[in-house]
């Protein structure tokens, strides 16, 4: 039978789902139908985000990652960031609802809560947010408890969340494994002498970093108000020097993980620093896509907090949560790709970089 738009898009089934707790949405106010629909649309966007991120993960989980796949990964990341921007735009629509109008139907929702949106939890898990980093919900229960109903029965989504927890590697894990294999100054992890090559790159880089900081300090001191201020600035810059070394040698991690993460961090620095090398152009695009994606989540979380504050203020959430403060905290503290962010603090301008002598490894046959 010939395809129709309404059969393919399932328009009738779709438009029958906005009746909330009622049997017919005609009895609901426009505000409530808007509220229900915006949440549905967010869930649809989240579904697309999940699919796209699984594709990204599957690509990055290959060993080796075929070079041409990176363009696909970069596109997937860009699409995901765009999806999250679309989600963030819905807050403006929610704000067409006044406090009073929202309150007209809010009691019906209790104790339901947006914290019961399982797909957002799935996305966080798939990206690689460890459970230990989560800020407990208001009720001091785990986020999984929120996926049970008031009688302790699991939601249909809870099993998907549980499955997602088992689904490895997560994006951050796959990304780290791929980054670990980055050729640094032409040396691969299994190559003899790799550790020395990497260490020598890192030491040269830290030396360059120290020179830069020294210059910066001189410039900044010229604007300092007094001795106390000068002391404060000196201290801050000394911390930056020490921080760069500690970071690149992974002193923040248990000894057993240091060598591995030291190489990963060196790889990030290497890719960001020498992206003109043909073979590093797509890897750099991937790193940029990851950063843009995590940024899109931060912007989404902060914008979410601003909408909630505007519409209902700082009252207790329907699920009993602390509302606005909780959202603001998650925005500032949830950070999956912390190594990518940390590296930005110690990148150098091009002219200050250690020179790269042998670049043949990273080239391919000429242009047209």
What residues between 18 and 57 interact with a copy of itself by CB under 8 A?
18, 20-21, 30, 33-34, 36-37, 39-41, 43-45, 47-48, 51-52, 55
Among 134, 194, 309, 334, binds a copy of itself (CB under 8 A): 309
Pick out residues in 162-191 that bind a copy of itself (CB under 8 A).
178, 181-183, 188
Among 61, 240, 258, 259, binds a copy of itself (CB under 8 A): 240
Angle at which helices 69-94 and 30-60 cross, to 10°: 160
Q: Please count the residues of this chain forming the interface with a copy of itself, following the rule CB under 8 A.
A: 156
Which CB sits closer to a copy of itself, 140 or 166? 140
Q: Calculate ∠ Cα 289-282-179, nearest 5°.
A: 75
User: How many Å is the Cα radius of gyration of the chain?
Assistant: 25
Which CB sits closer to a copy of itself, 279 or 356? 279
Of 128-136, 194-202, 257-265, 288-296, the window that binds a copy of itself (rule: CB under 8 A) is: 288-296
In the bound complex, what is the minimum distance in angstroms from residue 282's beta carbon to a copy of itself? 7
Q: Is 211 in the site for a copy of itself (CB under 8 A)?
A: no
Which CB sits closer to a copy of itself, 254 or 366? 366
DSSP track, 8-46: HHTHHHHHT---TTSS-GGGS-HHHHHHHHHHHHHHHHH
Closest residue by Cα to residue 163 from 54, 79, 59, 62: 54
**Cα→Cα distances 157→58, 85, 236, 303, Å:** 22, 24, 48, 26
Of 124-132, 192-200, 257-265, 282-290, the window that binds a copy of itself (rule: CB under 8 A) is: 282-290
Spatial contact of 273 and 185, defined as CB atoms under 8 Å apart: no
Q: Is 313 in the site for a copy of itself (CB under 8 A)?
A: yes
Q: Is 139 in the site for a copy of itself (CB under 8 A)?
A: yes
C-alpha 73: how far from chain center: 15
**Cα→Cα distances 138→219, 270, 311, 324, 326, Å:** 47, 42, 20, 11, 8
Of 124-132, 152-160, 166-174, 190-198, the window that binds a copy of itself (rule: CB under 8 A) is: 152-160
Among 204, 241, 341, 356, binds a copy of itself (CB under 8 A): 341
Angle at which helices 255-273 and 227-248 cross, to 10°: 110
């Amino acid at each position: 039978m010939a395809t129709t738009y309404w059969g393919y898009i399932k328009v009738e089934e779709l438009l029958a789902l906005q009746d909330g707790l009622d049997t017919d949405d005609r009895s609901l106010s426009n505000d409530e139908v808007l509220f229900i629909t915006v949440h549905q649309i967010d869930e649809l966007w989240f579904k697309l985000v999940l699919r796209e991120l699984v594709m990204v993960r599957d690509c990055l989980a290959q060993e080796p990652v075929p070079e041409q796949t990176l363009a696909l990964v970069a596109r997937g990341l860009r699409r995901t960031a765009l999806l999250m921007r679309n989600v963030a735009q819905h807050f403006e629509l929610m704000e067409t609802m006044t406090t009073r109008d929202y309150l007209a139907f809010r009691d019906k929702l209790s104790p339901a809560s947006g914290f019961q949106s399982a797909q957002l939890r799935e996305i966080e898990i798939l990206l690689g947010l460890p459970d230990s980093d989560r800020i407990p919900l208001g009720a001091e229960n785990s986020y999984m408890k929120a996926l049970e109903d008031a009688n302790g029965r699991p939601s249909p989504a809870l099993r998907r969340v549980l499955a997602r927890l088992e689904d490895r590697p997560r994006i951050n894990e796959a990304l780290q494994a791929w980054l670990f294999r980055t050729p640094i100054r032409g040396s691969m992890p299994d190559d003899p002498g790799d550790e020395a090559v990497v260490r020598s790159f890192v030491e040269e880089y830290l030396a360059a970093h120290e020179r830069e900081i020294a210059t910066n300090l001189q410039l900044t001191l010229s604007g300092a108000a007094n001795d106390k201020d000068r002391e404060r600035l000196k201290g801050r810059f000394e911390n930056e020097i020490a921080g760069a070394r500690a970071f690149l040698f992974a002193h923040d991690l248990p000894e057993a993980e240091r060598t591995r993460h030291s190489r990963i961090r060196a790889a990030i620095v290497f890719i960001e620093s020498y992206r003109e090398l043909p073979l590093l152009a797509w890897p750099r695009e991937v790193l940029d896509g990851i950063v843009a994606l995590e940024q899109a989540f931060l912007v989404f979380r902060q914008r979410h907090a601003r909408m909630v504050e505007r519409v209902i203020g700082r009252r207790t959430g329907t699920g009993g949560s602390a509302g606005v403060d909780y959202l603001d905290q998650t925005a500032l503290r949830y950070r999956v790709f912390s190594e990518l962010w940390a590296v930005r603090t110690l990148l150098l301008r091009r002219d200050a970089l250690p020179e790269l002598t042998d670049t043949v490894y990273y080239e391919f046959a000429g242009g047209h």
